[in-house]
Amino acid sequence: MSHPELFDLTFAHVDCDAFYASVEKRDNPLLRDKPVIVGHPGGRGVVTTACYIARRYGPRSAMPMFKAMALCPDAVVIPPEMAKYKRVSQSIRALFAKATPLIEPVSLDEAYLDLSPGIRLIDRPAAVLLVRLARAIERDIGVTVSVGLSYNKSLAKLASDRDKPRGFSVIGRAEAVSLLATLPATAIHGIGAATARRLAAEGITRVDQLQALPEAALVARLGKFGRTLSRLVQGDDPRQVVADRPCKSVSTETTFSQDLAGFGPLTEALRMLAGSLEGRLRRAGLAGGTVVLKLKTADFQSVSRQTRLPDPTQRASVLFEHALPLLRRMADGRAYRLIGIGADHLVPAEQADPPDLFTAGPHP
């Protein structure tokens, strides 16, 4: 690889290639040349990961499983084994830690690294360290990664997506703005489906159109995010790599075997999930200050509502009690294929469920 800024860039995004499927192929070499989909077979779930062979036929992550199997009927479907994937992720993280202490995990299969001088643990340019890391991960752990190297986080992420699998892509300062100008607006970090629709309604679908708008115009359209967006489209991202980012939410959900409508059946499903959520919060040593209810309609439209709790809690009964009015408003006759409940605004467990007048203990 050759690039004028190759040895000056220090922000990296490392992304495992089709991670869950790659782990399964590593553990069963007979699957190496076969299309593999990780997901729950025969149910109403979605694809967790599709290997690159399967992707040739159309399956993608988050696609409904029935649709993926229609596109690739010969795929080998393997239920996900999250504990195993977590162990592999920890092994990869341990290799990262030999190069830098500044590692910001995004998920089990991707992370940002800051390999700046004075931070990195080995006195070699970031590009050299990243090549060594990619080779060590493939040799010692048995999965491949794609690497993006740039001068900030958003461009490093963009670079890692450019040449998968086993890719190593660089975006320097000199070409950043012109390269961004060629991309669709959805390539920019933070522009999701809803924002893309709002922009498209005004005929804005490309980054070069966003680059031509002054910051005030973007703020008028998108509020506070417009100010951030005006910087991102010019290749400016001030975010730093933050190690050990605290957990922001804990949740659990279930997909029904058949669509459910009506307050009664949905209530029973919610009650069971509240119990599961309590267990997750207790294991994590956390409590939630907000309860979030999520429902997904039969046509895959997600709807969520939330309410702030009087005090942070871990208790299933409290979570259920405050989620129930949200469910009552959302159970309006529509059929739902999924329900989930989560806790947000997390605090340490010690702050959970303070005693009240009736639970403070015996009278003096």
159's tokens:
């670079």
pLDDT interval class at 32 (50, 70, 90): very high
3-class SS of residue 291 = strand
Domain final position from 109, 141, 164: 164
Check whether 247 has a pLDDT greater than 90.
Answer: no
Check whether 186 has a pLDDT greater than 60.
Answer: yes
DSSP β-bridge partners for residue 336? 260, 297
CATH number at residue 303: 3.30.1490.100
38 and 160 part of one domain: yes
152 and 78 part of one domain: yes
- Assess if residue 218 is contained within a domain: yes
- Assess if residue 237 is contained within a domain: no
97 and 158 part of one domain: yes
pLDDT interval class at 43 (50, 70, 90): low
Q: What percent of the chain has pLDDT over 90?
A: 79
Full residue range of the structural domain in which residue 255 is found? 249-351
121 and 188 part of one domain: no
15 and 156 part of one domain: yes
pLDDT interval class at 285 (50, 70, 90): confident
pLDDT interval class at 357 (50, 70, 90): very low
| pLDDT value of position 133 | 97
- Assess if residue 112 is contained within a domain: yes
- Model-level pTM? 0.77
Q: How far is CA 122 from CA 9, 119, 204, in A?
A: 15, 9, 45
Q: What does the alpha-carbon distance between residue 153 and residue 208 come to, in Å, rounded to a whole number?
A: 20
160 and 179 part of one domain: no
- Assess if residue 285 is contained within a domain: yes
| pLDDT value of position 243 | 87
Domain final position from 124, 143, 164: 164
- Assess if residue 241 is contained within a domain: no
**Are 281 and 342 in contact, with CB atoms under 8 Å apart?**
no
- Assess if residue 341 is contained within a domain: yes
- The backbone torsions φ and ψ at residue 107, rounded to the nearest 5 degrees and listed phi first, read -160, -170
225 and 279 part of one domain: no
Q: What percent of the chain has pLDDT over 70?
A: 96
pLDDT interval class at 45 (50, 70, 90): confident
Residue whose entry in the numeric block shows the structure tokens 């975006």: 171
Hey, which residues are catalytic here?
Answer: 110
76 and 102 part of one domain: yes
84 and 150 part of one domain: yes
192 and 289 part of one domain: no
| pLDDT value of position 118 | 87
3-class SS of residue 295 = strand
State how far Cα 95 lies from the chain centre: 22
Check whether 351 has a pLDDT greater than 50.
Answer: yes
- Assess if residue 90 is contained within a domain: yes
Helix (H) or strand (E) holding 360: none
Per the structure, how many domains does the chain have? 3
3-class SS of residue 187 = helix
Supply the angle between the helices 193-200 and 215-222 in degrees, to the nearest 10. Answer: 110
Helix (H) or strand (E) holding 363: none
CATH number at residue 224: 1.10.150.20
CATH number at residue 29: 3.30.70.270
95 and 48 part of one domain: yes
Domain final position from 232, 266, 281: 232
| pLDDT value of position 196 | 92
Average pLDDT, the chain: 92
Q: By CB neighbour count within 10 A (0-12 exposed, 13-18 middle, 19+ buried), where does 336 fall?
A: buried
Of residues 39 and 363, the one with the higher pLDDT is: 39
Phi-psi group of 62: left, alpha or beta (phi > 0 → left; psi -120 to 50 → alpha; rest → beta): left
Check whether 60 has a pLDDT greater than 70.
Answer: yes
pLDDT tens for 84-133 read 999 999 999 999 999 999 999 999 999 999 999 989 999 899 999 999 99
92 and 154 part of one domain: yes
Measure the CA dihedral 101/105/109/114, to 10°: -50
In the chain, which residue ranges form alpha helices assigned H by DSSP? 19-27, 52-55, 65-71, 82-97, 126-136, 153-160, 173-181, 193-200, 207-211, 215-222, 224-232, 263-284, 316-330
- Assess if residue 18 is contained within a domain: yes
